[in-house]
Structure 1
């Protein structure tokens, strides 16, 4: 049975969440394919194969080689391999021919790395404090992204990418780099809050849930998206590396966990450390104290630890004579939603600025607001 036929059958029986991650990782669009055979053909291209090879963890490489040598592999690891479409199925764990050939071509299990002087890590309290701010900024940025996509026509310029003018506009609005905007967009896409249809980015029903959710729920969504990018097997590998080398940077841990990783812009594993920094799991590569809990699947424990580092919610706003409004800290979701109905967001940060204008008042009246 050919790899193409096997993979098409595996794709047909795969869960929607697995297909979503696959399509995102390979920069594909489901609308381009007539059936699962077309999709399987795209997944088996050399470029797509290279992206998959670079995302293999140590444990996955070891398990695949054990299967090729007809040695015993645990049921848990076989299920991980099947969910990542590395073997045909968990009931019949046959390694695809193309993957077997690539593993034989590349027998190495560790990448060559440049040896540098170790960077002294800040104290853990400072790391956690900064991670709390990063988490808050990520949640705030996702919210702004959702409102922006709802108000503007943002076109997909290439496979899953946003045009440079739109990236620059969001970068200026958020006060963040263009790379940060791309990272936030990726997390929003993986979590299902942003989708693409008819070559346009738009918020989904899940985005509506995000807007009405509290910070704990929002951060949980971001963490789930990050874990989906890392993968179940990769999470276990990273957790092991972190427990053995707690002083190493996240980039080093990723390099040790995924020996075939490359720095390609399309490599999902190559962006793991950057995305972790964006959502408050690390800062400048140094792990937050709750990263171990996240990797172990104990997200509730991580949320409890993060909560203490998030900026406190404010119940009051400052209305100024020039028709500007300042929120000195994060507002409750209900207050923020109401405020946005008749104001424009002026600047984003720990203290967010809003402005009342004739246009914003008109929009508020259209929303059903009155002078009361």
Structure 2
């Protein structure tokens, strides 16, 4: 009989690290918990137990049910024998049963006999009672848990199917790298707002979908992949690239894909990692959803939602194609990222480092551009369309942006001459020369009060800026014929003018040209330093040690709990001759310095002086 009394004694005896780990897995409300009895009652509260039991897999649930039907604690060997009798857990061996017992013990759902699960274990009475009333609490019926056999294992992918799967997977993997790269570029240009309840704000989601040329429903998957790889993070409610994004952007395509695939694998929870590894050569279709629903009978919908997210990411990354594992996906699950990358690269299209420069100011790549060429080209030209052969376009604004970032007419010419298969067309040459000549016609400097001053010797251009509706939020006011003022800081005004495609430069207080840095880097969030579970354990230990009458207080709480629960316990009593005698007693009341109870062994009523009671323990 494993009751609150047994759990309280166990909690008090557990090492701090084990107790903290258990409370992290089984969080409780700390209010009203003043000792280990209160903690035990909180852990055995039905609502808390539902939260602990619902995520268990079928084998763990079945073990709790089978153990609850036994009169004595069961060892792993005996538990395996009982589990093997039921369709849901047929074939369970002692090793799996022992691992299951250890998990349930760590979750404080079963009470180990003889100080450990090797000697057997039994569930706490509250756990068994909850499982017996399962449907009333949203849990499955015990008999259904035991009687439902697993779905059939699907047939493995045939060798004939693999070549087509691998080709399609490689196309998706290559596109995934390009999509994440485009996402980071767009987030660097303008962050995406995250809602407080989670998920992107609708305008940000639409903007990113348009920039990435994907369906809006695909954007969260791409963002999750970038987040898992540490390339994007939320800072002050806005999604931005991280410091690691720059290095990733300049890496080779195989290395970039490897980073994304490795992050996907490393972030898998243990149960999904085991499940995917077991199905590394079989379809991830509706059969997988049926299996996950069977595996987690108390939380099928949540489990299916959890796996659907990972399956979507796998399809996006090319680990699967049409829900069939690719060669790279199989290699990732069985051998790791290096083997997966080797398998995937064999099917990647060849990258090019040369482009065609057209007289209409467009740039056409005859194939996928090498990352180092594309990243440099994008600083001076705008992407028009992305595919295996992408198209870029030069404009006065794009060249002005490059000059703002530090390029010169000479450096632009040198780069284009090196990568062009058609030389530098004359219209593009003129555009570069004109853009460089125009650059700096508008200057932004911080005033003494911190506000911005916009200056230009071109009165017509300054007037255009003053009435530009796209800049109305800057509240620009005329100071004189060559100056406008804004109450916003210099960098805000500079980037607003730059985005509006004006030839603007920023100046410091002495008039030297500087390049403001946009807030494009997000710091990865640091885990909260406070540990509520550790704080609770420390407080209980401190209160326990501070009480001068700890032993007496502990005995009093044990007796009170036994009386309230009408629980049979073993009471150790000191006799007048110094002997210690154990009585199997069901306490019925305490009063007048005496303990009254029914002696179950002798079947008589006993009254014992409390001063003679030296200890009490559960019958378990």
TM-score (norm 1): 0.71
1:60/1:233 contact within 8 Å kept:
no
Deviation at 1:155, TM superposition (A): 1.1
Distance in structure 2 (CA, Å) of the matches to 1:270 and 1:284: 14
Distance in structure 2 (CA, Å) of the matches to 1:99 and 1:302: 44
Distance in structure 1 (CA, Å) of the matches to 2:364 and 2:245: 25
1:262/1:270 contact within 8 Å kept:
no
Q: Where does residue 341 of structure 1 map in the other structure?
A: 379
Q: Where does residue 193 of structure 1 map in the other structure?
A: 231
Q: Where does residue 397 of structure 2 map in the other structure?
A: 359
1:281 alignment partner, one of 300, 308, 319: 319
Q: How does 1:49-88 map to 2 (within 5 A)?
A: 71=76, 87=107
Deviation at 1:233, TM superposition (A): 3.6
Q: Where does residue 279 of structure 2 map in the other structure?
A: 241
Matched, 1:183 2:218: no
Q: 1:144 to 1:224 in 2, by over 3 A?
A: same
Q: 1:217 to 1:13 in 2, by over 3 A?
A: farther
Deviation at 1:273, TM superposition (A): 1.6
Matched, 1:142 2:180: yes
1:342/1:360 contact within 8 Å kept:
yes
Q: Where does residue 311 of structure 1 map in the other structure?
A: 349
1:214/1:332 contact within 8 Å kept:
yes
Q: How does 1:159-178 map to 2 (within 5 A)?
A: 159-178=197-216
Q: 1:110 to 1:355 in 2, by over 3 A?
A: farther
Q: Where does residue 272 of structure 1 map in the other structure?
A: 310
Tell me the alpha carbon deviations over residues 205-248 of structure 1, each in whole angstroms, 9 at most, x when there is no partner: 121221111122211222123224432342222222345xx3x3
2:253 alignment partner, one of 201, 212, 215: 215
* Structure of higher CA gyration radius: 2
2:183/2:208 contact within 8 Å kept:
yes
Deviation at 1:265, TM superposition (A): 11
Q: Where does residue 340 of structure 2 map in the other structure?
A: 302
1:253 alignment partner, one of 273, 288, 292: 288
Distance in structure 1 (CA, Å) of the matches to 2:258 and 2:17: 35
Secondary structure in structure 2 of the residue aligned to 1:346: strand
Deviation at 1:63, TM superposition (A): 8.8
Q: 1:65 to 1:128 in 2, by over 3 A?
A: farther
Q: 1:168 to 1:180 in 2, by over 3 A?
A: same
1:250/1:285 contact within 8 Å kept:
yes
2:292/2:304 contact within 8 Å kept:
no
Q: 1:109 to 1:361 in 2, by over 3 A?
A: farther
Q: 1:264 to 1:240 in 2, by over 3 A?
A: closer
Q: Where does residue 371 of structure 1 map in the other structure?
A: 409
Tell me the alpha carbon deviations over residues 175-208 of structure 1, each in whole angstroms, 9 at most, x when there is no partner: 2111211100011112221111211111111212
Q: 1:343 to 1:127 in 2, by over 3 A?
A: same
Deviation at 1:133, TM superposition (A): 0.5
Secondary structure in structure 1 of the residue aligned to 2:230: coil
Q: 1:57 to 1:331 in 2, by over 3 A?
A: farther
2:209/2:219 contact within 8 Å kept:
yes
Number of residue-to-residue matches in the alignment? 326
Distance in structure 1 (CA, Å) of the matches to 2:243 and 2:52: 30
Secondary structure in structure 1 of the residue aligned to 2:350: coil
1:131/1:280 contact within 8 Å kept:
yes
Distance in structure 2 (CA, Å) of the matches to 1:222 and 1:202: 17
Structure 1 residue ranges (4+ consecutive) displaced by more than 3 angstroms after TM superposition: 5-14, 49-54, 56-78, 96-115, 248-251, 261-267
TM-score (norm 2): 0.45
Q: 1:57 to 1:126 in 2, by over 3 A?
A: farther
Q: Where does residue 488 of structure 2 map in the other structure?
A: none
Deviation at 1:9, TM superposition (A): 3.7
Distance in structure 1 (CA, Å) of the matches to 2:187 and 2:99: 40
Distance in structure 2 (CA, Å) of the matches to 1:305 and 1:206: 26
2:280/2:334 contact within 8 Å kept:
no
Tell me the alpha carbon deviations over residues 110-130 of structure 1, each in whole angstroms, 9 at most, x when there is no partner: 999999xx9x99822111101
Distance in structure 2 (CA, Å) of the matches to 1:345 and 1:195: 24
Q: For structure 1, list consecutive stretches of 5 or more residues without a partner in the other structure.
A: 15-45
Distance in structure 2 (CA, Å) of the matches to 1:76 and 1:366: 66
Distance in structure 2 (CA, Å) of the matches to 1:164 and 1:67: 51
